[in-house]
Amino acid sequence: MNDNNTKRMTYLDALGLAQREELEGRDDTIIIGEDIALYAAGGAYGNTDASRIRSAPISECGFAGMAVGAAITGLRPIVDLTIANFIYLAADPIINQAARLRYMTGGQFKVPVTYRASMWHSQANAAQHSDRPYPMFMNIPGLKVVCPATPEDAKGLLKAAIRDDDPVIVFEDNDLWGKKGDVPLDTNFVVPIGKARTHREGSDVSIISVSGSLRHALKAADDLAKDGVSADVIDLRTLLPLDNEAILATLAKTGRVVIVDPAHRTMGAAAEIAAIIVEDGFDMLKKPVKRVVTPDVPIPFSPPMEAPLYPNPERIAAAARELM
């Protein structure tokens, strides 16, 4: 896998590479966010014209909305909202403007804006810094929502988001920022929005993974293999739109499904995935659908309380065994 066309790098470096390529490679991209200029001075954006790098005041609603105005008038803004909880401050322009302006104006606009939001869970930052808010935005027609789980997908999905003519939110798993993987160096490499990826072929049970749960799902699959249980592991990668075909294809292989989603249980991504399975694949089910999710409690600060709340390999494997 590590040939001349790929380089081993972290998830964070892959995001940075995607951003730099899209800023350097075209003149309509701009980046807006808090503390952005500091990174520019460090060369993070290569030789991009300084007017396209906007270190914003702490005004999330304002600059998230400005990005919509810039997008409908010909720019292609990347808005770095940093910690995902801050997206709530920017929710009005994302939901009421970005997601709807094309529709409400009878197609007079494209809205090519990308919002980056990094989910800082698992790091003892308590409930105001640890959210995984993607399910709320899956409920907003007009948006697209992606959740890369590998460095390769981080690069490819961020580039796809920037190039897309619709508003896309990229929810990054901050717990993956330091994790390494092989990343294609081709400046035209993108991962198509709306396509899941199979990471492991199996025949007994399907593990459908969301966001950074992928590595836990793969570890669980290794453990299950030792017991002779063959797991099919897919990473959805995009949550809006969901890849219904991939969901039903893995169900067809196994008839047993564990959905792993680090968002909270009630109305999480897993709930919609389960609904699709029940609506469209009920006859293929050999057992009820299982969800491995985060319970409906605010994320506590103290690590011994926080850690067990999220999906982990043990909980995933246990859920799969219950289906066998």
Partner 1 sequence: MKNDLQSEAYLRMLKIRGFEQAVTRLVTEGEVPGAVHTSIGQEAAIVGACMALKRDDYISGTHRSHGHPIGKGAELKPLMAEILGKVTGVCKGRGGSMHFTDTSVGSIGESAIVGGGIPIATGAALTAQVRRTGQVALTFFGDGASNEGVLAECLNMAAVWKLPIIFFCENNGYAAVTPARNSHGQPDVARRGEGYGVPGVIVDGQDFEAVYKATEAAVGRARSGEGPTLIEAKTYRFDEHCVGLFINGNYRPAEEISHYKNERDPVTLFRTSLLTSGMTVGALLEIEGEASRLVEDAVAFAKDSAFPDPEEAFELVHANPIPIRR
Residues forming contacts to partner 1 in the complex (CB under 8 A) are 30, 51-52, 54, 56-57, 59, 61-75, 77, 92-93, 96-97, 101-112, 141-142, 144, 164-166, 193-194, 240-241, 244
The answer to whether the beta carbons of residues 53 and 36 sit under 8 Å apart is yes
Q: Which region, left, alpha or beta, applies to residue 312 given φ > 0 means left and ψ of -120 to 50 means alpha?
A: beta
Listed residue (208, 193, 192, 215) closest to 281, CA to CA: 208
Gap between the terminal Cα atoms of the chain: 34
Q: Is the previous residue joined to 308 through a cis bond, with omega within 30 degrees of 0?
A: no
Of 156 and 194, the one with the shorter C-beta distance to partner 1 is 194
The answer to whether the beta carbons of residues 258 and 290 sit under 8 Å apart is yes
Of 42 and 141, the one with the shorter C-beta distance to partner 1 is 141
Closest distance of CB 109 from partner 1, Å: 7
The kind and range of the H/E element at 302 are: none
Of 241 and 298, the one with the shorter C-beta distance to partner 1 is 241
How far apart are the C-alpha atoms of 95 and 91, rounded to whole Å? 6
Of 144 and 290, the one with the shorter C-beta distance to partner 1 is 144
Active site residues: 129
CA neighbours closer than 13 Å in the CB half-sphere of residue 61 = 5
Closest distance of CB 38 from partner 1, Å: 16
Closest distance of CB 171 from partner 1, Å: 17
Q: Helix, strand or coil for residue 135?
A: helix
The amino acid that residue 190 corresponds to is V
E strand spans, the chain: 6-10, 29-33, 53-55, 76-83, 114-119, 144-146, 168-173, 180-184, 197-200, 205-209, 231-235, 238-240, 257-264, 290-294
Of 85 and 294, the one with the shorter C-beta distance to partner 1 is 85
Of 194 and 311, the one with the shorter C-beta distance to partner 1 is 194
Closest distance of CB 244 from partner 1, Å: 8
- Enter the DSSP assignment of 97: I
Structure tokens at 175: 């717990």
Adjacent-strand bridge partners of 54: 32
Structure tokens at 196: 């899941």
Closest distance of CB 10 from partner 1, Å: 29
Closest distance of CB 294 from partner 1, Å: 27
Listed residue (144, 20, 31, 133) closest to 77, CA to CA: 31
